């Protein structure tokens, strides 16, 4: 068979595989994989560097399917090029416990670099991946040793281009001159409701040119030579990210449903699939048929690509001999090994002073940054307010790719998604900061970080009505409980400066899943660690900060700035001959992961008089206070006023805590 004919047959095989899999599942998106098969063929057989037998090879090119609904395209090429995805896995598309779910899932399917599906997220994740590559290259590459030079390839849909997070991330990528990004815009003009002109008629190419991208346009995705030329041009462009705007026809090959919304999110139907096969010269009575010559073609493509790793391994072995210290640092970091004495650099704050926990966080970051080169991050234009600037390091930019201070701009949504991409490097421990109230802008990437079990660190400051005069719009009420309900997310609200330092220790040592450190704007007292239990106990999520002098009659529980209030309330209750145990509970998530014996030690079953105090929604606290307990929380929005007045107005006073404790004890 002529090479040209074999390539076309290979492309058509992928189209039919996608149609068959969606039809068998009786759900899914067949049209986009059918349209994109020519691009996939070029990427997997000619362009990208990867090793199917080692999907985690460090210098592999990254592929991001931002249009995650088109995942059958990716599954087909992963299977055909030799990843551990069998034909049976393809047949089990979208079925229970399958490794071929309805959208790509990182950690589940070999070769999937990132979980995508919520449109725009993959686009922004790729920006983070590109940042990670540039930072690692700046730190480790040496003359004659280009250890990290991988590129990020992504496919984006019309829907991706409509999402706001794409605009945020594209603007940032252009500003940073991320020339290691090559993105393809699948311009097929179709969404679920119909033609995109129902809601979308902008010139995407001109928009991306305005963002500072290198832009090319291809009139027909089936023009393989045009695709090759455009990719070659993009690979030569090293100072700007590249967008290749490719016109495609959704459902290509389907006689009755091509170029219609009917090919987007539903099976084509058995009769139409038969027509597709006939159209491409395949036997309409055979399903999941991969011609021998096509299987051999893609198997060879996978084996050829794997040779890139063999060459890289040789290069890296020579690099280790020439630059052993850098190699050891890199291997330690990617192996999860932290410097032996880094914890000794954590600051210890003296009792008697007052300090906002955001300030303590900044001091902690600057104390440890020198010893943790993988720690890189910044804020959404709020570094002076969130105290996240690393004083001894430069800002990341196209001129300074080794910079460790990252300026996300006022782009919270993109910040979260870019952090996820950075975390997926298996090298960086990225952090990002904003006010707690703006965590709402970041819900999709925060949730996806938990889904992927990756560990970006979020710093959320201005954590309560304690921020004062900025008022209702900036005072978080429901945000804490919202974050706590996300499976796999660790939320830590430290009680003082020393708990804050320990929160950073826990976040950096955390094995998997995102961590949110929630901090005050207002100054609060540093708790005396000689008099009370040391803050290192924070790692357990909840601990007895101050025990009652006699048998405890009630447990006072709080997080964050309210811990100081319950300590003072304990003293007042003692004067009334009431014995109260004080529990600092900075993290529900960490506490819930402790052994049952420890949990019983903190909250004995027979000690059910419990009062929780937190300047946020009381929802969820009943799990720890029991039906015999109570919660002092906030169930309405805040107001604009000085913090001290607001705390008094909302009942966060020693007097109110003591009164509510008495009420609990008087109940039968």
> Exposed/middle/buried for 21, CB within 10 Å: 0-12, 13-18, 19+?
buried
**Residue 2: pLDDT over 80:** no
Question: What is the per-residue pLDDT for 38?
Answer: 98
C-alpha–C-alpha distance, residues 608 and 624, integer Å: 9
Q: Could you read off the pLDDT of 643-652 as tens digits, one per residue?
A: 999 999 999 9
Question: What is the per-residue pLDDT for 573?
Answer: 98
Spatial contact of 607 and 555, defined as CB atoms under 8 Å apart: yes
Structure tokens at 574: 């003692």
**Residues of 351-375 as b/e, b for ≥16 C-beta within 10 angstroms?**
eeeebbbbbbbbbbbbbbbeebbbb
Question: What is the per-residue pLDDT for 668?
Answer: 64
Chain-centroid distance, C-alpha 472? 28
Coil, strand, or helix at residue 597? helix
How many residues are recorded in the chain? 668
Question: What is the per-residue pLDDT for 605?
Answer: 95
Coil, strand, or helix at residue 221? coil
C-alpha–C-alpha distance, residues 603 and 544, integer Å: 10
C-alpha–C-alpha distance, residues 479 and 484, integer Å: 9
Question: What is the per-residue pLDDT for 201?
Answer: 95
Q: Could you read off the pLDDT of 310-363 as tens digits, one per residue?
A: 999 999 999 999 999 999 999 999 999 999 889 999 999 999 899 999 999 999
Question: What is the per-residue pLDDT for 379?
Answer: 98
Unique residue bearing structure tokens 């209030």: 565
Q: If pLDDT is split at 50, 70 and 90, which confidence band does 667 have? A: confident
Q: Could you read off the pLDDT of 212-222 as tens digits, one per residue?
A: 999 999 999 99
Q: Could you read off the pLDDT of 585-627 as tens digits, one per residue?
A: 999 999 999 999 999 999 999 999 999 999 999 999 999 999 9
Could you tell me whether strands 354-355 and 524-525 are parallel, antiparallel, or unpaired per DSSP bridges? antiparallel
CA distances 523 to 4, 287, 498, 538, 644, Å, are 71, 68, 13, 20, 11
The secondary structure of 15-75 as a DSSP string is: HHHHHHHHHHHT-S--HHHHHHHHHHHHIIIII----TT-TT-TTPPEEEESSGGGHHHHH
The secondary structure of 438-502 as a DSSP string is: GGGGGHHHHHHHHHHT---EEEEES-SGGG-TT-GGG--SSHHHHHHTSTT-EEE--SSHHHHHH
Sheet holding 610-613, edge to edge: 543-546, 580-584, 554-558, 610-613, 630-632
Q: Could you read off the pLDDT of 390-441 as tens digits, one per residue?
A: 999 999 999 999 999 999 999 999 999 999 999 999 999 999 999 999 999 9
Chain-centroid distance, C-alpha 123? 12
- Is residue 429 within a helix (H) or strand (E), and if so which, with residue range? strand 429-435
- Is residue 406 within a helix (H) or strand (E), and if so which, with residue range? strand 405-407
Question: What is the per-residue pLDDT for 341?
Answer: 86
User: What does the longest C-alpha to C-alpha distance in the chain come to?
Assistant: 94
Considering only CA atoms, which of 601, 600, 613, 533 is closest in space to residue 569? 613
> Exposed/middle/buried for 169, CB within 10 Å: 0-12, 13-18, 19+?
buried
Q: Could you read off the pLDDT of 255-310 as tens digits, one per residue?
A: 999 999 999 999 999 999 999 999 999 999 999 999 999 999 999 999 999 999 99
| Averaged pLDDT, 545-562 | 97
| Averaged pLDDT, 189-207 | 95
Q: Could you read off the pLDDT of 82-128 as tens digits, one per residue?
A: 999 999 999 999 999 999 999 999 999 999 999 999 999 999 999 99
Q: Could you read off the pLDDT of 5-36 as tens digits, one per residue?
A: 999 999 999 999 999 999 999 999 999 999 99
Sheet holding 515-518, edge to edge: 405-407, 375-379, 429-435, 457-461, 515-518, 490-492
50 bridge partner residues: none
Taking the alpha carbons at both ends of the chain, their separation in whole angstroms is 88
**Residue 512: pLDDT over 90:** no
**Residues of 25-38 as b/e, b for ≥16 C-beta within 10 angstroms?**
beebbbbbbbbbbb
Unique residue bearing structure tokens 């000619």: 46
CA distances 425 to 55, 337, 419, 421, 422, Å, are 13, 16, 10, 7, 6
Half-sphere exposure of 405 (CA within 13 A, CB side): 16
Coil, strand, or helix at residue 254? coil
Chain-centroid distance, C-alpha 524? 31
C-alpha–C-alpha distance, residues 634 and 623, integer Å: 17
Q: Which residues are catalytic?
A: 412
**Dihedral angle computed from the Cα positions of residues 368, 371, 375 and 378, in that order, rounded to the nearest 10 degrees:** 50
554 bridge partner residues: 580
> Exposed/middle/buried for 426, CB within 10 Å: 0-12, 13-18, 19+?
middle
- Residue 291, φ and ψ in degrees, nearest 5: -55, 145
Unique residue bearing structure tokens 């802008």: 441
Spatial contact of 586 and 560, defined as CB atoms under 8 Å apart: yes
C-alpha–C-alpha distance, residues 452 and 463, integer Å: 26
C-alpha–C-alpha distance, residues 303 and 299, integer Å: 6
C-alpha–C-alpha distance, residues 480 and 98, integer Å: 34
**Dihedral angle computed from the Cα positions of residues 615, 619, 621 and 626, in that order, rounded to the nearest 10 degrees:** 140
Quick one: what percent of the chain has pLDDT higher than 90?
Answer: 98
C-alpha–C-alpha distance, residues 243 and 222, integer Å: 18
Spatial contact of 569 and 580, defined as CB atoms under 8 Å apart: yes
Cα Rg of the chain, angstroms: 28
């Amino acid at each position: 068979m002529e090479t040209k004919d074999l390539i076309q047959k290979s492309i058509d095989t992928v189209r039919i595989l996608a149609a068959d899999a969606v039809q068998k599942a009786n759900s899914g998106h067949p049209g986009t994989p059918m349209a994109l098969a020519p691009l996939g063929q070029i990427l997997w057989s000619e362009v990208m560097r990867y090793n199917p037998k080692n999907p985690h090879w460090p210098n592999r090119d990254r592929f991001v399917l931002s249009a995650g609904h088109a995942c059958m395209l990716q599954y087909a090429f992963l299977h055909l090029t030799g990843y551990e995805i069998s034909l049976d896995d393809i047949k089990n598309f979208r079925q229970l416990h399958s490794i071929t779910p309805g959208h790509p899932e990182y950690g589940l399917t070999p070769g999937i670099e990132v979980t995508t599906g919520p449109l725009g997220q993959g686009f922004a994740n790729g920006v983070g991946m590109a940042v990670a590559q540039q930072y690692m290259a700046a730190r480790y590459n040496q003359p004659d040793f280009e250890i990290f030079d991988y590129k990020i390839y992504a496919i984006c849909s019309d829907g991706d281009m409509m999402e706001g997070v794409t605009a945020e991330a594209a603007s940032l990528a252009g500003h940073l001159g991320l020339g290691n990004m090559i993105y393809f815009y699948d311009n097929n003009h179709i969404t679920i409701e119909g033609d995109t002109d129902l809601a979308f008629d902008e010139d995407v190419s001109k928009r991306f040119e305005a963002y500072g991208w290198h832009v090319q346009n291809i009139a027909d995705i089936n023009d393989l030579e045009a695709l090759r030329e455009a990719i070659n041009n993009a690979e030569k462009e090293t100072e700007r990210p590249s967008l290749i705007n490719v016109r495609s026809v959704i459902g290509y090959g389907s006689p009755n449903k091509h170029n219609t919304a009917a090919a987007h999110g539903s099976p084509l139907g058995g009769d139409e699939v038969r027509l597709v096969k006939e159209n491409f010269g395949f036997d309409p009575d055979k399903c999941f048929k991969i011609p021998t010559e096509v299987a051999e073609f893609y198997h060879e493509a996978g084996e050829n690509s794997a040779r890139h790793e063999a060459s890289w391994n040789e290069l890296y072995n020579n690099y280790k001999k020439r630059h052993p210290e850098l190699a050891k640092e890199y291997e330690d970091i990617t192996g999860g090994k932290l410097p032996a004495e880094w914890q000794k650099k954590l600051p210890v704050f003296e009792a008697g002073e007052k300090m906002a926990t955001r300030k303590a966080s900044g001091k902690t970051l600057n104390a440890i940054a020198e010893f943790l080169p993988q720690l890189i991050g910044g804020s959404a234009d709020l570094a002076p307010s969130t105290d996240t600037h690393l004083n001894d390091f430069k800002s990341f930019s196209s001129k300074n790719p080794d910079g460790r201070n990252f300026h996300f701009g006022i782009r919270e949504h993109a910040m979260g998604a870019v952090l996820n991409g950075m975390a997926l490097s298996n090298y960086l421990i990225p952090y990002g900061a904003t006010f707690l109230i703006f965590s709402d802008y970041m819900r999709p990437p925060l949730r996806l970080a938990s889904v992927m079990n990756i560990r970006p660190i979020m710093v959320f400051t201005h954590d309560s009505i304690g921020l004062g005069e900025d008022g209702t719009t900036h005072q978080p009420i429901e945000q804490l409980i919202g974050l706590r309900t996300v499976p796999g997310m660790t939320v830590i609200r430290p009680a003082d400066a020393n708990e804050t330092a320990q929160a950073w220790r826990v976040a950096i040592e955390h094995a998997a899943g995102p961590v949110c450190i929630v901090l005050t704007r207002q100054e609060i007292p540093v708790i005396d660690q000689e008099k009370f239990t040391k803050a290192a106990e924070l790692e357990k999520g909840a601990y007895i900060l101050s025990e009652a002098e006699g048998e405890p009659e009630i447990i006072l529980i709080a997080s964050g700035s309210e811990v100081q209030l319950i300590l003072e309330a304990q003293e007042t209750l003692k004067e009334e001959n009431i014995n109260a145990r004080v529990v600092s509970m900075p993290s529900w998530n960490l506490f819930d992961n402790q052994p049952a014996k420890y949990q019983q030690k903190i909250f004995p079953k027979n000690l059910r008089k419990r009062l929780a105090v937190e300047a946020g929604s009381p929802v969820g606290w009943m799990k720890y206070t029991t039906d015999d307990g109570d919660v002092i929380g906030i169930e309405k929005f805040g107001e604009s006023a000085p913090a001290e007045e607001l705390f008094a107005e909302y009942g966060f006073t020693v007097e109110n805590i003591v009164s509510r404790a008495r009420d609990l004890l008087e109940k039968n």
